[in-house]
Structure 1
Amino acid sequence: MRGEHRHELRELAETIFADARSRASASETGFDAGLWTTLEQAGLARLTLPEAAGGSGGSLTDLAVVLEAAGAYAARVPLVETDLLAGWLAHAAGLEVPAGPLTAATAELTIQPTGDGATVSGTLPRVPWARAATAIVVLAGDRVLVLPPAAVEITEGSNVAEEPRDTVTVADVTLGPGAVAAAPDGATARLGLRAALGRTLLLAGAARGALAESVRYAGERVQFGRPIGRFQAIQQQLALAAAEVAAVAAASAAAARTAAADGFGADTTAFAVAAAKARASEAAGVVARIAHQVHGAIGFTREHALRLVTTRLWAWRDEDGSEASWNDELGARALAAGGEGLWPLVTGAP
């Protein structure tokens, strides 16, 4: 029954994101308000949050299906930030989860207690989707803060995919008791793993999207009297890209299953997420390179849909931990496990 449910969820997500993509120009950037409204109406915007927090009570494996589809169609909405990060952090801290699209940040801020609230100052660099968010949920040391965008200064910025990565300046903002709470245990590590898993699932989708565009184009582009997809050199490159896409899909799905079963506080989850993000970041460059080699110069134009997924591959491979940083984490955990603990660590066996 779960397999049937997952299949129906995948069909729903693919339909929603494909429809949004078909209605938008390849040159459009910024928040897609229409898509967000559709996701909220379908119960996908806060899929893993409990119903008491305004969510749908779904599982991480359900969310994995939705995020992979979002990556494949370059969806311009803060799904990871709203559901996996800001929504979870606010709810775990016992705060009311604000309505609408949310974003999250981790930063060192100056916090002065004022009764049951606090006065806050500081700077939050490169906050995803800050300009579109109804609230910014911040993990500041041992405190969780909910900042209203109207009370802060937002300087717009972007990553290479032109997704919002804004600087938020907080100058003596006073927050009431409903916007300040103690951070849950292990919040920093768990938030980092959640962000990395979400980014990995988006990378898996973007890699699939780049491969699909390349296979389609190779079947349509005629050179020397036949489609270029019939040339052995093109076939070999597409096969290599397909292998990378399959590897990332397997690693990201395994990480999501492990997190769903063991929780983000488990060593098994930390290892699985680290391995998946490192593998996805490695594959991102390979898949993007092959996709542009197959397309030639046309794939680099602003009007071409390929740009939407390849620029995200380039941007996301370094966000929420690069390939090198997560490989360092894997190495440290393997050394700490020692000879006897390495096999159980890798396989998850007791």
Structure 2
Amino acid sequence: MSDIGTMLADTAERLFAAHAETLADANGAWPAATWAAIEESGLPLALVPEDSGGFGVPVPEALALIRQTGRHALPLPLAETIMANAALAAAGLPLAEGPAALVPAGDQRIAWGRFATTLVHDADGARHRTGQLACTATNTNLAGMPRDTLALEGSAEGSMSSNGPTLLELGALARALQMAGALDRVLELTIDHVSTRVQFGRPLAKFQAIQQEIAKLAGEVASASAAADHAADTYADGGDLSFAIAVARTRIGEAASKATAIAHQLHGAIGFTREHALHRLTTALWSWRDEFGTQRHWTLLLGKRALDAGPTNYWPMVVAA
């Protein structure tokens, strides 16, 4: 990892850990001090090229920061702001001021919409940037994170044509990375729990049935991690991002369903309590699974690509990806 990448990763870890209690107790209020510390650290500029005002961090290392937000189930729009700034820089538009929201064409539930002071949205083949807008309806996802409806019509302050990834793809990539990070942490918490929880005079981890479930959980997490890494590499290399994201979101969504079931079973009732970190990760996973394209959307896209390839080109498509 580069020096600047290491510095940003260490900074992010310290910030997320230092503000974890504040974020957990926010109860819907905007944690202004925490966001100010994140902005001051420069984390929202991680994916912005140096000549556009960023740090010049290698793309894989910048994407690793998004994965870190997943490990902490971070209840702030840092992943969205990182991607929004990347989209704005690529379109030659001014970077975000404050927290940003990504608004794919036709999306009606905008992540962190009520708090976003910059919005990036696609319409009529162009990329648009606007400032804060009034909410027409407020809501939250299962993890308690704001998902709002905003009045976007005629709101653009600046627009540019864009031939790069769509906002749907950028948001879906962010969610894939966050889910992979959350699953990493779910596995760590579960291993720690069964290693320290004693039943019938010995740790749960000593029981063969528990070991088998941990092996299944680890397999799902490893598969999700590989799928997320492949999507990140494809974005960095300029490859077929839509296909890579469809693979990642399909596989990671499946892994999230299986892994959360195993983790909660092994934790018992304690995993559902507000005092335990597991429920914050699993509710985030269940929510992220259907954001920026539902599980069904990405699975159907993947199936269509397979059918379009046909019997002759199916295997070449798989190995090329």
**Residue of structure 1 equivalent to 2:208:** 232
- 1:191 partnered with 2:167: yes
**Residue of structure 2 equivalent to 1:113:** none
Distance in 2 between residues matched to 1:25 and 1:195, nearest whole Å: 22
**Residue of structure 2 equivalent to 1:283:** 255
Distance in 2 between residues matched to 1:43 and 1:226, nearest whole Å: 47
Q: What is the CA distance between 1:305 and its match in structure 2?
A: 1.4
TM-score normalized by the length of structure 2: 0.89
1:68/1:205 contact within 8 Å kept: yes
Larger radius of gyration: 1
Distance 1:138 1:50, change over 3 A: same
Deviation per CA, 1:113-146: give whole Å up to 9, x if none: xxxxxxxxxxx62110112211222222234333
Alignment of 1:325-336 (within 5 A): 325-336=297-308
Distance in 1 between residues matched to 2:317 and 2:33, nearest whole Å: 44
Q: What is the CA distance between 1:156 and its match in structure 2?
A: 2.2
Distance 1:320 1:87, change over 3 A: same
2:69/2:79 contact within 8 Å kept: no
Q: What is the CA distance between 1:302 and its match in structure 2?
A: 2.2
Distance in 1 between residues matched to 2:53 and 2:300, nearest whole Å: 38
**Residue of structure 2 equivalent to 1:252:** 228
Q: In angstroms, what is the RMSD of aligned CA positions?
A: 2.5
Q: What is the CA distance between 1:8 and its match in structure 2?
A: 5.9
1:29/1:76 contact within 8 Å kept: no
TM-score normalized by the length of structure 1: 0.82
**Residue of structure 2 equivalent to 1:313:** 285
Distance in 2 between residues matched to 1:165 and 1:32, nearest whole Å: 17
Distance in 2 between residues matched to 1:104 and 1:98, nearest whole Å: 11
Deviation per CA, 1:273-313: give whole Å up to 9, x if none: 21111111111111111111111112112222111101011
* SS of residue paired to 1:159: coil
**Residue of structure 2 equivalent to 1:70:** 69
- 1:93 partnered with 2:91: yes
Q: What is the CA distance between 1:79 and its match in structure 2?
A: 2.2
Partner AA of 1:180 in structure 2: G
**Residue of structure 1 equivalent to 2:114:** 131
Distance in 1 between residues matched to 2:290 and 2:263, nearest whole Å: 19
Consecutive unaligned residues of structure 1, counting only runs of 5 or more, are 109-123
* SS of residue paired to 1:241: helix
Q: What is the CA distance between 1:172 and its match in structure 2?
A: 6.6
Q: What is the CA distance between 1:214 and its match in structure 2?
A: 1.4
1:72/1:206 contact within 8 Å kept: yes
Distance in 1 between residues matched to 2:31 and 2:177, nearest whole Å: 20
* SS of residue paired to 2:108: strand
Alignment of 1:73-84 (within 5 A): 73-84=72-83
1:241/1:290 contact within 8 Å kept: yes
2:104/2:166 contact within 8 Å kept: no
Q: What is the CA distance between 1:39 and its match in structure 2?
A: 3.0
Partner AA of 2:15 in structure 1: I
**Residue of structure 2 equivalent to 1:180:** 158
- 1:162 partnered with 2:144: yes
Deviation per CA, 1:215-249: give whole Å up to 9, x if none: 12222222222222222222211111111111111
* SS of residue paired to 2:167: helix
Distance in 2 between residues matched to 1:256 and 1:171, nearest whole Å: 33
Distance 1:322 1:152, change over 3 A: closer
1:299/1:306 contact within 8 Å kept: yes
Partner AA of 2:162 in structure 1: P
Distance in 2 between residues matched to 1:231 and 1:3, nearest whole Å: 42
Distance in 2 between residues matched to 1:7 and 1:148, nearest whole Å: 32
Instruction: Pick the aligned partner of 1:152 from 128, 134, 144.
Output: 134
Partner AA of 1:91 in structure 2: A
Distance in 2 between residues matched to 1:172 and 1:41, nearest whole Å: 32
1:193/1:273 contact within 8 Å kept: yes
Equivalenced residue count is 320
Deviation per CA, 1:289-342: give whole Å up to 9, x if none: 111111111211222211110101111111122333222212221222334433
2:5/2:62 contact within 8 Å kept: no
Consecutive unaligned residues of structure 2, counting only runs of 5 or more, are none
**Residue of structure 2 equivalent to 1:120:** none
Alignment of 1:39-58 (within 5 A): 39-58=38-57
- 1:205 partnered with 2:188: no
Q: Which of the pair is proportionally richer in strand?
A: 1
2:75/2:145 contact within 8 Å kept: yes
Name whichever of 59-68 and 234-243 sits farther off: 59-68
Name whichever of 92-101 and 200-209 sits farther off: 92-101
**Residue of structure 2 equivalent to 1:296:** 268
Sequence identity percentage: 39
2:129/2:159 contact within 8 Å kept: no
Partner AA of 2:101 in structure 1: T
Q: What is the CA distance between 1:6 and its match in structure 2?
A: 5.7
Distance in 2 between residues matched to 1:206 and 1:103, nearest whole Å: 21
Name whichever of 292-301 and 58-67 sits farther off: 58-67
* SS of residue paired to 1:24: helix
Q: What is the CA distance between 1:51 and its match in structure 2?
A: 3.4
